[in-house]
Every structure is written in C-alpha cells, then in structure tokens.
Amino acid sequence: MAEDLKLIDGTKKAQYESLIPQIKALVEGESDLVANLANIAAALKEQFGWFWVGFYLVKNEVLVLGPFQGPVACTRITKNRGVCGSSWSTAKTLIVPDVAVFPGHIACSSLSKSEIVVPIIVNEKVVGVLDVDSEQLNNFDTIDQQYLEAIIALISFN
C-alpha cells in the first residue's frame, strides 16, 4: 500500500475502524517483524497523537524496548515490574487510569498520566507487549483494549 495514512476525526471507535484496515494493508505484504511493529507504532501515534506508543519484546526473560514513537524510554523491564511487567506476568491487558496510583509503575516520563498495556501472546506465551501512554488521566478504556488487541492479532510473530 502507499506509505501514507488516511487520518480521520471522529469517535475513538471510528478512528480505530478507519485505521485497522490500513494497518492490515501495511503489514500483510511484509514479513519482517521489526518493520511491522515500527509501522504500527507510527500509525497509532499519527492517528491518535498519544504521548508514547511502542513495543517491548521478551528477550532472555526480560522485556527489551522495541520499535516505538515518542520520547526515549527505559530499555529493560523485568517480569512483574511496572505495568508492562505485570501485563507480561498475568498475560492480561491492563488499563491504568492514573499511573500515580499503580503500585510499581515505571515512570519513563513524568508527563505520562494514564496507560494501557496489551500482551502479545503466541502459543500461550507472552512474547512482548504493546504499551501506550497518554498525557491525560483516564484516557483508555475497553474500546482501546478491544481494538488494540485486534491490531496485535494482525501481526505474525513466526
């Protein structure tokens, strides 16, 4: 597909509905994982303008920073640590309306106020997470969860 994104205004749901076929088209002709994760991070950042969006991948039993859009971030997160490490150990999507009250939250930036982390599960094992941070409190809900999980399902990790 052409390397430009059609951005739309509208409800969160409408924005995801517009974006998902475009992400599908971006990744379906490409087998390289890093290339696809990089484009997904860029597409989400462009459409939603979130503070930070990116991936951490499990390498030697540690989450290591992968492709992302936004300010520089911590590079390694151990299991159970922070929102990302908790999503990894529980294999569940975590929605954090106020990061200040999440026990053990890792503050890569004091500007981040709310967060959603979606685990990437392959053959029943978490192989990474998608992490999205917002400068606004309470910016993520189950609509984000539903659509971000659908976006993760488009990625081939083989």
In the complex with ligand SME, which residue's Cβ is closer, 26 or 77?
77
Q: Percent helix, strand and coil across the chain, each rounded to 5?
A: 35, 25, 40
Q: Does 84 bind ligand SME (CB under 6 A)?
A: yes
Q: How far is CA 153 from CA 17, 135, 148, in A?
A: 15, 26, 9
Does residue 144 bind ligand SME (CB under 6 A)?
no
108 makes contact with ligand SME (CB under 6 A): yes
Q: Which stretch binds ligand SME (CB under 6 A): 17-25, 103-111, 118-126, 150-158?
A: 103-111
Single-letter amino acid code for the residue at 118: V
Neighbour count for residue 143 (Cβ, 10 Å):
13
Task: Find the binder of ligand SME among 105, 144, 147, 151 (CB under 6 A).
Answer: 105
| H or E element, residue 94 | strand 94-96
- Which amino acid makes up residue 151? I
**Dihedral of the CA atoms 85, 120, 90, 97 (nearest 10)?**
70
Residue of 4, 9, 16, 14 lying closest to 150 (CA atoms): 16
44 binds ligand SME (CB under 6 A): no
For position 41 contacting ligand SME by CB under 6 A, the verdict is no
Given the rule CB under 6 A, which of 10-18, 25-33, 101-109, 141-149 is the region that contacts ligand SME?
101-109
Q: Does 95 bind ligand SME (CB under 6 A)?
A: no
Q: Please report how close the Cβ of residue 73 comes to ligand SME at its closest, in angstroms.
A: 4
Regarding 57 and contact with ligand SME (CB under 6 A), the answer is no
Q: How far apart are CA 91 and CA 119, in angstroms?
A: 6
Residues lying near ligand SME in the complex (CB under 6 A): 52, 73-74, 77, 82-85, 105-106, 108, 112, 115, 131, 133
